[in-house]
Chain A
Amino acid sequence: MTDTPKIELRNVSKRFGSKVVLDNLSLTVQPGKSLIVIGGSGSGKSVMLKCILGIIRPDKGEIFVDGKNVLKMGSGEREETLRKFGMLFQGGALFDSLSVWENVAFGLIQGRKMKRIKAKDIAIEKLAKVGLGAEVGALYPAELSGGMQKRVGLARAIAADPEIIFFDEPTTGLDPIMADVINNLIIASVKELGATTLSITHDMMSARKISDELAMIYKGKIIWKGPHDKIDHSGNDYVDQFINGRAEGPIKMEILKP
């Protein structure tokens, strides 16, 4: 069963009202690989991740995790599958009513019923992995800078040693140096866990650095996919325009010309 993809989406469609967000989207991620999906704002990237996690239910299509259709699972099996996942949210999404270490240990304490003392040790250890000292554990998320919040978010995502990690715009809103620090931390922690990752970003620096494979999403469809060293010679005008950041090209922004 070595060729079973870790994650597979088949013809997934989702619309909100009259707006089509995902349009017959198909995508596979192989075990242990890091796939990055690039695409502009509003191209359906976040919705795709949320469909896989079951936060949003697609209108059509099938989603497989380890060869099992997650849309046909009962709630118990579904929760079991969710334990394989960790996710780093765009804004961190830390719980502001809980301290930093409680945030990191949350999945262990609530999701896995681990004793608080033991979970705290693991939380401190994971914080150290992202370069934060034990004293940060006692602070609250509101007391941290944006870069530190991202790192805490990363520590929380890897706390339960997930098999699959999702990164939602991991470097957005950070300065270039902190972005690179986060990239390095992502690479290091993914390598250590041997996890499969699926990330969405529009930061090309980050995309080149942490990916094995790249795919581009446009208007709810995957329009190109390939190994990350082929991105510069994709032969696809849409991809070329995006990675070079040109306003002119086949992708038309929905703005009125002055």
Chain B
Amino acid sequence: MNFLAIIGRVVLALFAEIGRLSLFTWGAVSHIFRPPFFWRLLFQQMMRIGYFSLPVVALTAFFTGGALALQIYYGGNNINSESIVSTIVALGITRELGPVLGGLMVAGRVAAAIAAELGTMRVTEQIDALTTLSTNPIKYLVVPRLVAAVITLPILVLIADIIGVMGGFVAGTASLNFNPGVYINTTVNFLKADDVTSGLIKAGVFGFIIALMGCFHGFHSKGGAQGVGRATTNAVVSASVLILASNYVMTSLLFAK
């Protein structure tokens, strides 16, 4: 086939996808502020997206904080100082690793679940059935998930921050024989509110990305079981990539002085 034709087709497909996603996003966001509101569903989704992700996020944060403390110690040529290790752990967890790793873990768990659920609803005509029962599918399915993720992700990341710092503390005091009192003191003294809030802002954006990708791919899945599988994969991959890319952009904006 003509080489130019192939390029043209790929570019057109890309723009069509971007257009579909933009329309979908605009539709979803505009419905957030228009009644009716489904409070019961919002609560249900907050439990599913937030509460049930706690164990995964907590474990990730704990071990990451611990490993980070060890790496700084060994990598820094055995820096035998509670103050340096504790400061870098606290900054690393709250600014970067808490939100990013928490976001990626939730992306794997939640974006996949949302895409699979909505995808199955699409191929079994349940989404069409909503329309025939005078219920807007965007409002009923997408809005509660979107809002729940944007609310719960920062809460999850705040908990991850605390547990991650604690992971560093445990590794530091148990394996590296740091003084517990000094470690906690320097952490508290060096950590600024900005470090934590910047991470929480990131977390809110990641929550939006996760729910949006899950809903978008689930909503547009087609072709039976295989289509649902593809939608699930696409949701997780696109959510993860967008999280990492937007993290870079936000870091450069939030910390540009």
Q: When the two chains form the complex, which single residue of A79, A90, A96 contacts B125, counting CB atoms closer than 8 Å? A: A90
Residues on B with beta carbons closer than 8 Å to the beta carbon of A90: 125
Residues on B with beta carbons closer than 8 Å to the beta carbon of A53: 128, 131-132
Q: Pick 18 A–B contacts, CB within 8 A, sort by A.
A: A53-B128, A53-B131, A53-B132, A55-B131, A79-B134, A79-B136, A85-B132, A86-B132, A89-B125, A89-B129, A90-B125, A93-B124, A95-B129, A106-B135, A110-B133, A110-B135, A110-B140, A166-B132
B251 at the interface (CB under 8 A from A): no
Residues on A with beta carbons closer than 8 Å to the beta carbon of B125: 89-91, 93
Q: A110-B140, A112-B134 are in contact. Are A50 and B128 (CB under 8 A)?
A: yes
Q: Check A107 against B133 for contact (C-beta < 8 Å).
A: yes
Residues on B with beta carbons closer than 8 Å to the beta carbon of A54: 131
Chain B's nearest CB lies how many Å from the CB of A180? 24
Residues on A with beta carbons closer than 8 Å to the beta carbon of B124: 91, 93
Interface string of A126-165 (1 = CB under 8 A from B): 0000000000000000000000000000001000100000
A111 at the interface (CB under 8 A from B): yes
Q: Closest residue of chain B to A90, judged by CB? A: B125
- Give A86 to B133 CA distance when docked, in angstroms: 7
Q: Check A95 against B132 for contact (C-beta < 8 Å).
A: no
Interface members, chain B 208-244 (any A CB < 8 Å) = none
Other A-B pairs beyond A55-B131, A106-B133, 19, CB < 8 Å:
A53-B128, A53-B132, A82-B131, A82-B134, A85-B132, A87-B129, A89-B125, A89-B129, A90-B125, A93-B124, A93-B128, A95-B126, A106-B135, A107-B133, A107-B135, A110-B135, A111-B133, A111-B135, A156-B133
Chain B's nearest CB lies how many Å from the CB of A46? 9
Residues on B with beta carbons closer than 8 Å to the beta carbon of A86: 132
Q: When the two chains form the complex, which single residue of B36, B126, B140 contacts A93, counting CB atoms closer than 8 Å? A: B126
Residues on B with beta carbons closer than 8 Å to the beta carbon of A93: 124-126, 128-129
Residues on B with beta carbons closer than 8 Å to the beta carbon of A82: 131-132, 134
- Give A50 to B128 CA distance when docked, in angstroms: 8
Q: Check B132 against A87 for contact (C-beta < 8 Å).
A: yes
Residues on A with beta carbons closer than 8 Å to the beta carbon of B129: 87, 89, 93-95
Q: Check B128 against A83 for contact (C-beta < 8 Å).
A: no
Q: Closest residue of chain B to A157, judged by CB? A: B132
Binding site for B on A (CB under 8 A): 50, 53-55, 79, 82-83, 85-87, 89-91, 93-96, 106-107, 110-113, 156, 160, 166
Q: Check B128 against A110 for contact (C-beta < 8 Å).
A: no
- Give A52 to B98 CA distance when docked, in angstroms: 49
> What total of chain B residues lie within 8 Å of the partner, measured CB to CB?
14
Q: When the two chains form the complex, which single residue of B36, B128, B136, B140 contacts A89, counting CB atoms closer than 8 Å? A: B128
- Give A90 to B125 CA distance when docked, in angstroms: 9
Residues on A with beta carbons closer than 8 Å to the beta carbon of B121: 95
Q: Closest residue of chain B to A107, judged by CB? A: B133
- Give A87 to B133 CA distance when docked, in angstroms: 8
Q: Closest residue of chain A to B38, judged by CB? A: A110
Chain B's nearest CB lies how many Å from the CB of A57? 13
Considering the complex of A and B, which 5 residue pairs feature the smallest CB-CB distances, nearest first? A111-B134, A107-B133, A93-B125, A93-B129, A87-B132
Q: Which of B125, B128, B133 has the most CB of A within 10 A?
A: B133
Q: Closest residue of chain B to A166, judged by CB? A: B132
Interface members, chain B 103-132 (any A CB < 8 Å) = 121, 124-126, 128-129, 131-132
Residues on B with beta carbons closer than 8 Å to the beta carbon of A96: 126
Interface members, chain B 70-129 (any A CB < 8 Å) = 121, 124-126, 128-129
Interface string of B130-170 (1 = CB under 8 A from A): 01111110001000000000000000000000000000000
Q: Which of B36, B121, B129 has the most CB of A within 10 A?
A: B129
- Give A106 to B129 CA distance when docked, in angstroms: 10
- Give A166 to B132 CA distance when docked, in angstroms: 10
Q: When the two chains form the complex, which single residue of A50, A55, A95, A107 contacts B134, counting CB atoms closer than 8 Å? A: A107
Residues on B with beta carbons closer than 8 Å to the beta carbon of A94: 126, 129
- Give A106 to B133 CA distance when docked, in angstroms: 7
- Give A86 to B129 CA distance when docked, in angstroms: 9
Chain B's nearest CB lies how many Å from the CB of A40? 20
Q: Check B132 against A110 for contact (C-beta < 8 Å).
A: no
- Give A53 to B132 CA distance when docked, in angstroms: 7
Chain B's nearest CB lies how many Å from the CB of A200? 14
Q: Check B134 against A110 for contact (C-beta < 8 Å).
A: yes
Chain B's nearest CB lies how many Å from the CB of A78? 10
Residues on B with beta carbons closer than 8 Å to the beta carbon of A95: 121, 126, 129
